[in-house]
Amino acid sequence: MFIFDAHLDLSMNALEWNRDLTRPIRDIRQREHGQTDKPDRGRGTVCLPELRRGNIGLVVATQIGRYAKPTHPLGGWHSPEQAWAMTQGQLAWYRAMEEAGEMVQVKDRAGLEKHLEQWQAFGAPVSEPASSLVENRARSETGAPKPIGYILSLEGADSIVTLKHLERSFAQGLRAVGPAHYGPGTYAFGTDSEGSIGARGRELLREMDRLGLILDATHLCDTSFREAMDVFKGPVWASHSNARTLTPHNRQFNDDQLKELFRRGAVIGAPLDAWMMIPNWVRGQTTPEATGLKLEKMVEHIDYICQLAGNIQHSGIGTDLDGGFGREQCPADLDTIADLQRLPNMFRARGYKESDIEAILHGNFIRFLREAWRM
Ligand SMILES: [Zn+2]
């Protein structure tokens, strides 16, 4: 089944983790043998060949660069201009992948339809043996790797030095913006912080409206979420968020916020970051094996959203599987992102209809984009 992943930090991995994502996952892990600078060294789960193997043909891929004042709890670039340059470097990697035929940028309705058609996202033969299906999906007719479609998104807007920079980013293909990430930001307060979007946040949201950008509500703190919903009039999604009822933490949305998102027509991508899936996870200490965390837990989170909404229209996938963690902090029975292909059977076992499973795995986000990009 075709899968849409609404949140990956591919370029961050290429440039800050120094991963050549065109290589097989085995090679990337081997190359990191003995490195200890990041917690997930040698344990990465995402690369372009694994996306192809998992029939994950369309993703939302981020630019990410935080600006941090001296008091910022997590640190980051010391000026907005440095953050901007970081995100421009990340864009240069996506462009290089386009030139190499590894990826293709999807930024409008025509491009979306063309990509889906070329990927043969729908109507792919399901009766073939798995091995030949994998082969069909991994290679185009010419034998070249099939380009992964990506929609460019910005996680945390600190790198937008002025609104002119946002306009430039839009011209570069940027289509979604999450104003905040972790801590206090220039345009909104993010996870583990609390405060108003202020005048600059309102300006940013109005400019996003004018340009036709999607607002990514993920990471907004409660106050900034409320204000952003009031100011912003355009399409809203939450690329990688779970329910606070199941995982009590300000990073997740409470039921009122989720209902507000439903009213706005949002689709909410379910993440596979262990600490967001089960309560009381301690980074670097808790292990997937010790907690018994399995991929099935993702189905429970998605089911919760569907039950709360009373329909299946607002649920999707937003794995975040390369967001600074690897196998040490994701479900124990997941080796690579290609394991998402086990989800359809898990939903079938719960009695989900085939059309509902398709909606969750790709249909809802694609419908969302078709509506957002009507023109
Ligand atoms: Zn994130």
Find out whether 228 and 179 touch, Cβ atoms under 8 Å.
Answer: yes
In tens digits, the chain (375 residues) has pLDDT values of 999 999 999 999 999 999 999 999 999 999 999 999 999 999 999 999 999 999 999 999 999 999 999 999 989 999 999 999 999 999 999 999 999 999 999 999 999 999 999 998 654 443 333 444 444 455 555 667 899 999 999 999 999 999 999 999 999 999 999 999 999 999 999 999 999 999 999 999 999 999 999 999 999 999 999 999 999 999 999 999 999 999 999 999 999 999 999 999 999 999 999 999 999 999 999 999 999 999 999 999 999 999 999 999 999 999 999 999 999 999 999 999 999 999 999 999 999 999 999 999 999 999 999 999 986
For residue 242, the CA-to-ligand 1 centroid distance in Å is 12
| DSSP three-state, residue 186 | coil
For residue 188, the CA-to-ligand 1 centroid distance in Å is 14
Q: How many CB atoms lie within 10 A of CB 349?
A: 10
Distance 142 CA to ligand 1 centre (A): 36
| The residue count for the chain | 375
State the residue for tokens 């997590």: 74
CA of 98 to the centre of ligand 1 (A): 24
* Ligand 1 centroid distance, CA of 28 (Å): 23
Alpha-carbon distance of 371 to 58, in angstroms, equals 17
**For residue 64, how far is its CA from the centre of ligand 1 (angstroms)?**
9
What is the whole-number distance in angstroms between the Cα of residue 2 and the centre of ligand 1? 23
What distance in angstroms lies between residue 323's CA and the mean position of ligand 1's atoms?
A: 7
- Read off the tokens for 342: 């086990």
Distance of CA 137 from the midpoint of ligand 1 (Å): 29
Strands 174-178, 103-105: pairing is unpaired
Which pair of structure tokens corresponds to residue 206? 């109005």
Cα of 155 from ligand 1 centre, angstroms = 7
**Exposure of 257 by Cβ count < 10 A (0-12 exposed, 13-18 middle, 19+ buried)?**
buried
Cα-to-centroid distance, 322 and ligand 1 (Å): 10
Please name the amino acid found at residue 231: V
186 backbone dihedrals φ, ψ, rounded to 5°: -70, -35
Closest CA to 318 of 278, 275, 364, 271: 271
β partners of residue 298: none
Distance CA 64, CA 84 (A): 9
pTM: predicted TM-score of the whole model, two decimal places: 0.94
Q: DSSP string covering 254-320, please?
A: PHHHHHHHHHTT--EEEP--HHHHSTT--TTT--HHHHT--THHHHHHHHHHHHHHTSSTTEEE---
221 Cα–ligand 1 center, Å: 13
| Strand pairing class (214-216; 236-237) | parallel
Instruction: Return the amino acid letter for 53.
Output: R
Going by C-beta distance under 8 Å and a sequence separation of 6 or more, which residues neighbour residue 80?
67, 158, 159, 160, 161, 186
